[in-house]
């Protein structure tokens, strides 16, 4: 029963919240540029509209092109199942750890790159090849970061990690976690196609990566991919806020009320990170494609130094 | 023939050996009729492999004793044919037999394009003997017999590599292969001699306590180089990417799927079971070689556009991953951490089995592509998914498996390797923990690069528009070829979804060697593989995840149907920026796809590019542009070329000063040699 | 407080990595300023701690001197030098940036190895700060090796000095006051001399590339 409740909360919160994060980021960006900007809920309207539209499919493409939106979306949601939005409900024996989470997201990315090549479009190939480069360079940092935070509970389970962080009260005032936190922030920016690495708002062939891959999509397929990307972004943000800024230890009551409060604080934290991402986006410029290895190197040294600090501290 | 303990699996094993021999001779007898010869020989091989499967499954799961069969004991010392069939042998025989079943089914269709063109009888004779020699390598219990089987395996595979000998590059590949493999064998021979000089026996079941510490260290290094050459670890990998593409595809599948694994078998048999791991640095050196092979193997694979060369470099990568597991296991065993040792070796053996399945399948897939289009160059393919839908689906499955993507089997073994590395971090001394986290980084990098590489392989060859006329005429391959690959794909999926069942088998093998079983700490039956430290949260369940993915897909379809109504689709051309004549030349090519990574990792590749532009009246519309990019094999240039230069100049000197050609000089050499030997005899 | 000092020592180390990853001379100066501010913060925290425990206030004075010199005066001097040279961006490196950063990582690993076996300071928490600070010294040296332009050399020199200072500070609660003052004055002199040298090199060779100094050989 707890498992079902957990899965329902997880899926509902993440899917419903994911477009909001994009809306907030866009709104903050608009404010900093002295624009009024689209409504915060714009992405919901967009998705609804897209779902109602008919679909245009390239005549070169095969079945890969049609199944990809579903696989991208469902793999992101499956990854979301492994990253609890609140640690108030612990599912019993739900099976998956951080390594599995990374590799489920890899499933979605694999199909996304295939679909980009499927239409025979030059844009698609370009996006896929750039995505392949960025993801390969950032992958080692993700695993080192996650393994470093997994060292204290001595477990690769996300619950155990979050549990051990709750015991630490304020993990950010700690040499290991401050480094891994920054590393994770860099990883989020790289993985979710944000500005120094990719520009979510552009359709210029010189700069686009993610947009180039999904250029051929339309209608409900596009809606699923957009939502999938938003869910993936929220999964990473959830990982960040619930590991490094735990809050459930401060809630003293129990029951449904506690879950509600916990979710509310979670929402505030997510909004906070969204604002931070938006500020990073407006205050930096899109990097040249071949400067991205420098970002990846930064993420790598941050995570690796974090790991080293753990051992230098002598536990 | 004298058989000591004739249990049922002993009988089955003897039956398998006999049947492989029969298959070889049947091929020779029926050499006149190509079709008949091919079918009969392959069917006998399949039956023999079924016997092999039965024998090894019984051995692994039921029987706990070791079967020893003494086939032939001669009066000449040391030359006796003794078979030792224990769980480790059984595991590798199982890998071999499973792959042989699928490859033989595949061969029935695949070899049909040789009918009337080549000597099919000879091919099938070599094919069966090759399998037999590998089988004998895995079950021999005597170093000399092992050595003979090993040599037979090398020679027969050499003939198979040069089977399509009309191409000059195939001859070159064969030459390089036979040279490299014999260099490796020379190291093994020295190790065997050291073994004999201390223990007075070539028996592999014997005890190694008589060998002193330093000799053991030397033997380890010799074994590492000798077996490493066969496994194709970097830097002695250079034969592998040449020999595998040269051989016919079903043979490449066997070579990559199982022949290079005999080296893993050798390391386990000689280092773990015979020498016993005593020094931490053994494990560390294996781990380092594993890291280098994993990363560089996939990095070089990324630059290849010949399907089979690409796959061969991936074999280097996967051997690296297997060695990472093995290295962690050896480190842990040297530190008397038997649980971690068992976990790591389980991971590495499971990856061995998995790699047998998916790499065998991928080579068969490459064979299918070559069968249908007569090209190995992926730049000439494209759009094959419409011509060969079943092959495409199967190759996609194998690609997902090799990239360690859920829910296929590659993920399970990589997950276990990650867990072993993770467990190795915590108690690790300074140095080992850093090495472990670097291996984690290497494994992650290799995984992501492999994904990039297989997106390239699948995306460029199966998707998009066709790039040449060869593809336009392609047809789906004969059904037997797809059956052979299909069985492998199903097994990949089965291991991915029900890992515990297979881990149980591997665990029985490992507990026989290490003495600790991890299966008691693996809970959850057939569905859920728990992380074996009894931490309940630390678990994965691919089946539940697959269920979740399917469930979400159904939910999405349902919700979208309700909101958006009926699915209306319009077919239209790919977006062409209004240019209106998009053709296959404007697609991304494999070279273009790998370009960003080529530039980022240019320190590895040292790419060179040449652009030739033929100008016309307007500089905006040149008549032709030739773009040529080439990468450098740094190991060949900076490691092998200097050695070769030194060797050549040395041999030139020898030619003039020692090998004078005068008969008297040679007689003097013999005379001096005899005198020195007699002196040695007197003095020592 | 110990947690704060740990985090600060990590952040100071991090700032040296950021310095290494930079190409713009303006950002060198900016990063150096941030690093010095972090060091001043460390000194400030320690100074308050020592003041409340032992009643000494010399560490606080050192803190003020750091702010005055390293956060305000020296960056100001460097900025002046910067406006006079035409090379604003370092273009050619001996090695590219990811590799430089990777080498820096290896430096930290190496320091960890070397220091974790040193007797006396191998006591948990001090160890961490000492490793980080000694790495800072070596990274400063490596920064000097990796940069060709003269301002890069000055910054590298200053980072080494920062590293020495923070090592002494964290390992032994601060050197005697007079030693600190002496070092500061030495450093100031060095920066002034180097600053003049930059002008001279720039005048002489139309460039501040240190490799040009090879031409001074007979």
pLDDT of residue B526: 41
Contact flag A312-C98 (C-beta cutoff 8 Å): no
**Least-confidence region, from A28-42, B243-257, B387-401, C182-196:** C182-196
**Strand (E) or helix (H) holding A55:** strand A55-58
Judged against a pLDDT cut of 70, whether residue B537 lies above it is answered with no
Domain with A217, as residue range(s), is 2-312
Decide: B335 and B284 in contact? Cβ < 8 Å.
no
Nearest CA in chain A to C1: A173
Q: Residue C125: which of A176, A150, A245 has the closest Cα? A: A176
- Separation between Cα atoms, residue A207 and residue A186, nearest integer Å: 19
Distance CA B504, CA B124 (A): 36
User: With left for phi above 0 and alpha for psi between -120 and 50, is residue B529 left, alpha or beta?
Assistant: beta
Query: Which B-chain residues 375-414 have CB contacts (< 8 A) with chain A?
Result: 382-383, 385-386, 400, 403-406, 411
Q: C21–A304: do the CB atoms touch at under 8 Å?
A: no
Our CA-based measurement puts residue A4 at a distance from the nearest CA of chain C, in whole angstroms, of 41
Confidence of residue C175 (pLDDT cuts 50, 70, 90): low
Chains in touch with A (≥3 Cβ pairs < 8 A): B, C
CA distance B664 to chain C (A): 60
Select the residue from A137, A140, A141, A175 to test the C interface by mutation, using most C Cβ atoms within 10 A: A175
Quick one: how far is CA C35 from the chain centroid?
A: 7
CA of A219 to nearest chain C CA: how many angstroms apart? 41
User: Which residues from C are below 8 Å from A297, CB to CB?
Assistant: 21, 97-98, 101-102
Distance CA B305, CA B629 (A): 12
Q: How many other CB atoms sit within 10 Å of the CB of residue B469?
A: 10
CB A129 within 8 A of CB A116: no
**Confidence class for position B428, pLDDT limits 50, 70, 90:** low
User: What is the reported pLDDT for B423?
Assistant: 85
**Residues of A in Cβ contact (< 8 Å) with B553:** 70-71, 73-74
Looking at the structure of chain A, the number of domains it has is 1
Tokens of A225: 């991919």
The pLDDT value given to residue A50: 93
Q: What is the pLDDT of residue B548?
A: 87
| DSSP states of B45-59 | HHHHHHHHHHHHHHH
What pLDDT is recorded for position B259? 93
Beta carbon pairs, A and B, within 8 Å: 278
Is the pLDDT score of B535 beyond 50? Answer: no
User: Nearest CA to CA, how far is C25 from chain B (Å)?
Assistant: 25
Q: What is the model's pLDDT at position A251?
A: 83
Phi, psi dihedral angles at A188 (to 5 degrees): -60, -45
The pLDDT of C138-148, averaged and rounded, is 87
Mean pLDDT of B227-235: 91
| pLDDT, tens digit (0-9, with 9 covering 90-100), for B22-67 | 999 898 888 888 888 999 999 999 999 999 999 999 888 887 776 7
Contact status of A75 with chain B (Cβ, < 8 Å):
yes
Give the gap in angstroms from C-alpha A33 to the nearest C-alpha of chain B: 31
Which 3 state secondary structure label does DSSP give A198? coil
- Tell me which DSSP letter residue B537 carries: T
Taking CA–CA distances from A294, the nearest residue in chain C reads C98
Give CA angle at A123 (B465, B403), nearest 5°. Answer: 75
Contacts of B556 in chain A (CB under 8 A): 70, 73-74, 224
Minimal CA separation from C182 to chain A, in Å: 32
DSSP-based three-state secondary structure for B653: helix
B602: distance to nearest CA of chain C, Å? 11
User: Chain A contacts of C10, Cβ < 8 Å?
Assistant: 175, 178-179, 305, 309
Name the pTM for this structure. Answer: 0.91
Question: Burial level of B578, CB count in 10 A (0-12/13-18/19+)?
Answer: exposed
User: Which residues are bridge partners to B2 per DSSP?
Assistant: B70
Nearest Cα residue in chain A from B418: A99
| B76 — pLDDT class (breaks 50, 70, 90) | low
Give the Cα separation of B659 and B673 in Å (integer): 16
Q: What is the largest CA-CA distance in chain B?
A: 100
CB A234 within 8 A of CB A17: yes
Provide the pLDDT confidence category of residue C117 given band limits of 50, 70 and 90. low
Closest by CA to C39, choosing from C47, C27, C49, is C47
Instruction: State whether C109 and B434 contact (CB < 8 Å).
Output: yes
Q: Looking at beta carbons, which residues of chain C come within 8 Å of A314?
A: 124-125, 127-128
What are the tens digits of pLDDT across the range A150-189? 888 888 888 888 888 888 878 888 888 889 999 999 999 9
pLDDT of residue B534: 40
Partner-chain contact C112 B430, CB within 8 Å: yes
Query: Which of C3, C4, C6, C97 would best serve as a mutation to test chain A binding (most A beta carbons within 10 A)?
Result: C6
Kindly report, residue by residue over B552-611, the tens digit of the pLDDT. Answer: 999 999 999 999 888 888 988 888 888 777 888 888 889 889 999 998 888 888 888 888
pLDDT digits (tens, 9 = 90+) for B602-634: 888 888 888 888 888 777 778 888 888 888 888
**Would you place residue B3 in the very low, low, confident or very high pLDDT band (cuts 50, 70, 90)?**
very low
The C-alpha atoms of residue A72 and residue A75 are separated, in whole angstroms, by 5
Average pLDDT, chain A: 89
Contact: B430, C116; criterion CB under 8 Å: yes
Å between C34 CA and nearest CA of chain B: 30
- Parse chain B into domains and list their residue ranges: 1-204, 277-566, 588-630, 635-683
Nearest in space to B201 (alpha carbons), one of B159, B258, B260, B142: B142
Residue C31 above 80 pLDDT? Answer: yes
Q: For chain B, what is the mean pLDDT?
A: 87
The Cα B43–Cα B37 span in angstroms is: 10
Distance from CA of B199 to the nearest CA of A (A): 44
Cβ–Cβ gap C10/A309 under 8 Å: yes
Average pLDDT over residues A6-16: 88
The pLDDT of residue C125 is above 90? no
Interior CA angle at B498 toward B492 and B499, to 5°? Answer: 80
CB contact under 8 A, B419 and A156: yes
Residue by residue, DSSP assigns A203-248 as: --TTT-SHHHHTTT--HHHHHHHHHHHHHHHHHHHHHHHHHHS--G
Least confident of A306-315, B169-178, B418-427: A306-315
A298 inside 8 A of chain C by CB:
yes
Nearest residue in chain C measured CA to CA from A301? C105
The burial of B435, by beta-carbon neighbours within 10 Å (0-12 exposed, 13-18 middle, 19 or more buried), is given as buried
- CB atoms C128 and A173 under 8 Å: no
CB A301 to CB C105 under 8 A?
Answer: yes
Q: List pLDDT tens digits, range A182-198.
A: 999 999 999 998 888 88
Answer whether C125 sits within 8 Å of A179, measured CB to CB: no
Instruction: Kindly list the partner chains of chain B, i.e. chains with 3 or more CB atom pairs below 8 Å.
Output: A, C
Q: Is the Cβ of A180 closer than 8 Å to some Cβ of chain C?
A: no
Rounded distance, CA A277 to CA A258, Å?
28
3-class secondary structure, B306: strand
Q: What is the pLDDT of residues B158-179, one digit of tens each?
A: 999 999 888 888 999 999 999 9
pLDDT number for residue B527: 45
**A294 close contact with C: CB closer than 8 A:** yes
Question: Where are the domains positioned within chain C?
Answer: 2-216
pLDDT of B684 > 80? The answer is no
> Per-residue pLDDT for C183 more than 80?
no
Give the model's pLDDT for residue B532: 43
Write the DSSP symbol of residue C214: G
Q: Which of A29, A306, A20 is nearest to A194 (CA)?
A: A29
Edge-to-edge, what's the strand order for the sheet holding B67-73?
Answer: B2-3, B67-73, B80-85
Contact with chain B for residue A301, Cβ under 8 A: no
Which chain C residue is nearest to residue B433, measuring alpha carbons?
C109
Do A290 and B434 make contact, defined as CB atoms within 8 angstroms?
no
| Confidence band, pLDDT 50/70/90 cuts, at residue B6 | low
Q: Would you mind telling me the total number of residues written for chain C in this entry?
A: 218
**In chain B, what residues touch C113 (CB-CB under 8 Å)?**
430-431
- The CA-based angle A103-A109-A115, given to 5 degrees, is 145
Tell me what percent of chain A is helix, strand and coil, each rounded to the nearest 5: 70, 0, 30
Nearest CA to CA, how far is C96 from chain A (Å)? 9
């Amino acid at each position: 029963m707890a498992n079902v409740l957990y899965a329902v909360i997880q899926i509902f919160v993440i899917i419903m919240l994911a477009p909001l994060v994009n809306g907030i980021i866009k709104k903050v960006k608009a404010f900093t540029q002295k624009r009024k900007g689209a409504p915060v809920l714009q992405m919901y309207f967009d998705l609804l509209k897209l779902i109602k539209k008919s679909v245009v499919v390239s005549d070169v493409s095969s079945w890969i092109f049609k199944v990809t939106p579903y696989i991208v979306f469902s793999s992101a949601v499956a990854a979301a199942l492994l990253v609890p939005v609140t640690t108030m409900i612990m599912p019993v024996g739900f099976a998956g750890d951080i390594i599995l989470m990374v590799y489920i997201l890899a499933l979605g990315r694999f199909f996304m790159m295939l679909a980009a090549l499927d239409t025979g479009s030059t844009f698609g190939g370009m996006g896929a090849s750039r995505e392949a480069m960025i993801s390969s360079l950032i992958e080692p940092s993700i695993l080192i970061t996650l393994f470093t935070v997994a060292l204290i509970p001595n477990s690769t389970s996300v619950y155990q990690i979050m549990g051990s962080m709750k015991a630490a009260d304020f993990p950010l005032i700690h040499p290991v976690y401050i480094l891994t936190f920054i590393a994770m922030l860099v990883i989020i920016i790289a993985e979710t196609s944000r500005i120094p690495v990719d520009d979510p708002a552009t359709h210029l062939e010189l700069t686009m990566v993610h947009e180039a891959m999904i250029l051929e999509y339309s209608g409900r397929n596009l809606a699923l991919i957009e939502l999938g990307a938003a869910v993936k972004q929220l999964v990473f943000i959830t990982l960040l806020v619930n590991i490094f800024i735990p809050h459930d230890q401060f809630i003293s009551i129990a029951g449904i009320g506690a879950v509600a409060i916990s979710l509310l604080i979670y929402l505030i934290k997510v909004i906070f990170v969204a604002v931070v991402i938006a500020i990073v986006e407006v205050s930096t410029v899109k990097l040249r494609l071949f400067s991205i290895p420098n970002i990846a190197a930064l993420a790598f040294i941050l995570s690796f130094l974090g790991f080293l600090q753990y051992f230098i501290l002598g536990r | 023939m004298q058989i000591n303990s004739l249990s049922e699996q002993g009988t089955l094993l003897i039956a398998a050996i006999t049947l492989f021999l029969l298959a070889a001779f049947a091929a020779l007898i029926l050499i006149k009729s190509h079709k008949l010869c091919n079918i009969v020989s392959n069917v006998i091989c399949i039956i023999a492999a079924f016997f092999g499967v039965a024998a090894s499954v019984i051995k692994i799961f039921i029987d706990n004793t070791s079967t020893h069969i003494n086939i032939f004991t001669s009066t000449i010392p040391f030359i006796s044919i003794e078979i030792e069939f224990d769980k480790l042998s059984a595991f590798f025989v199982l890998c071999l037999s499973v792959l042989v079943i699928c490859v033989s089914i595949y061969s029935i269709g695949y070899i049909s394009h040789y009918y009337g063109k080549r000597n099919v009888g000879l091919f099938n004779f070599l094919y069966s003997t090759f399998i037999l020699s590998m089988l004998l390598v895995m079950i021999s219990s005597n170093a000399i017999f092992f050595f003979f089987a090993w040599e037979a395996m090398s020679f027969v595979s050499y003939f198979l590599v040069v089977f399509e000998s009309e191409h000059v590059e195939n001859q070159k590949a064969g030459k390089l292969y036979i040279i490299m493999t014999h260099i490796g064998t020379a190291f093994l021979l020295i190790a065997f001699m050291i073994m004999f000089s201390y223990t007075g026996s070539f028996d592999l079941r014997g005890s190694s306590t008589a060998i002193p510490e330093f000799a053991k260290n030397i033997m380890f290094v010799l074994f590492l180089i000798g077996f490493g050459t066969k496994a194709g670890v970097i830097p002695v990998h250079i034969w592998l990417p040449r020999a595998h593409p040269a051989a016919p595809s079903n043979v490449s599948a066997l070579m990559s799927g199982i022949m290079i694994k005999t080296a893993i078998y050798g390391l386990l048999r000689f280092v773990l079971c015979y020498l016993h791991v005593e020094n931490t640095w053994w494990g560390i050196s294996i781990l380092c070689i594993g890291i280098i092979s994993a990363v560089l193997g996939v990095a070089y694979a990324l630059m290849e556009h010949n399907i089979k060369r690409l796959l061969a470099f991936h074999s280097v990568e996967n051997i690296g991953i297997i060695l990472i597991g093995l290295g962690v296991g050896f480190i842990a065993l040297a530190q008397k951490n038997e649980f971690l040792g068992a976990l790591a070796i389980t991971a590495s053996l499971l990856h061995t089995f998995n790699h047998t399945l998916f790499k065998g399948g991928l080579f068969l897939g490459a064979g299918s592509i070559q069968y249908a289009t007569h090209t190995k160059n992926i730049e000439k393919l494209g759009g094959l998914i419409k011509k060969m839908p079943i092959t495409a689906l199967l190759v996609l499955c194998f690609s997902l498996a090799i990239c360690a993507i859920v829910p296929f089997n590659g993920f399970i073994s990589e997950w276990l390797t990650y867990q072993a590395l993770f467990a190795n971090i915590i108690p690790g001394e300074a140095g080992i923990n850093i090495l472990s986290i670097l291996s984690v980084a290497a494994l992650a990098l290799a995984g992501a690069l492999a994904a990039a590489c297989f997106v390239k392989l699948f995306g460029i060859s199966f998707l998009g528009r066709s790039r040449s006329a060869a593809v336009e005429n392609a047809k789906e391959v004969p059904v037997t070829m797809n059956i052979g690959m299909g069985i492998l794909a199903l097994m990949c999926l089965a291991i991915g979804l029900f890992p515990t069942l297979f881990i149980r088998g591997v665990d029985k093998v490992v507990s026989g060697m290490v003495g600790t079983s991890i299966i008691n700490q693996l809970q959850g039956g057939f569905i859920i593989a728990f992380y074996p430290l009894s931490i309940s949260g630390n678990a994965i369940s691919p089946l539940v995840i697959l269920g979740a993915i399917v469930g979400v897909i159904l939910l999405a379809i349902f919700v979208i149907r309700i909101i958006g109504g009926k699915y209306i689709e319009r077919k239209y051309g790919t977006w062409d920026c209004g240019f209106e004549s998009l053709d296959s030349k404007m697609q991304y090519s494999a070279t273009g796809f790998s370009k960003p990574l080529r530039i980022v990792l240019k320190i590895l590749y040292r790419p060179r590019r040449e652009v030739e532009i033929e100008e016309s009246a307007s500089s905006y519309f040149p008549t032709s542009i030739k773009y040529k990019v080439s990468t450098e094999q740094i190991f060949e240039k900076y490691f092998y070329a200097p050695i070769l230069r030194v060797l050549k100049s040395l041999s030139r000197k020898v030619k003039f000063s020692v090998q004078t050609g005068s008969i008297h000089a040679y007689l003097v050499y013999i005379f001096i040699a005899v005198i020195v030997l007699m002196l040695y005899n007197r003095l020592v | 407080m110990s947690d704060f000092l740990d985090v600060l020592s990590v952040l100071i180390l991090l700032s040296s990595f950021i310095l290494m990853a930079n190409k713009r001379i303006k950002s060198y100066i900016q990063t150096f300023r941030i690093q010095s501010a972090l060091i001043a913060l460390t000194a400030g925290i320690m100074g308050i701690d020592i003041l409340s425990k032992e009643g000494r206030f010399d560490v606080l004075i050192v803190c003020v001197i750091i702010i005055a010199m390293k956060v305000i005066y020296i960056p100001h001097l460097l900025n002046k030098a910067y406006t006079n040279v035409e090379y604003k961006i370092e273009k050619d490196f001996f090695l590219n940036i990811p590799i430089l950063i990777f080498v820096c990582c290896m430096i930290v690993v190496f320091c960890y190895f070397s220091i974790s076996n040193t007797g006396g300071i191998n006591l948990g928490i001090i160890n961490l700060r000492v490793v980080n600070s000694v790495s800072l010294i070596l990274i400063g040296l490596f920064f000097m090796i990796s940069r060709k332009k003269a301002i890069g050399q000055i910054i590298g020199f200053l980072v080494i000095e920062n590293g020495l200072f923070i090592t002494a500070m964290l390992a032994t609660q601060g050197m005697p006051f007079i030693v600190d003052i002496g070092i500061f004055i030495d450093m100031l002199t060095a920066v002034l001399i180097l600053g003049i040298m930059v002008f001279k090199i720039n005048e002489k060779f139309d460039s501040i590339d240190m490799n040009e100094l090879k031409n001074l050989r007979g």
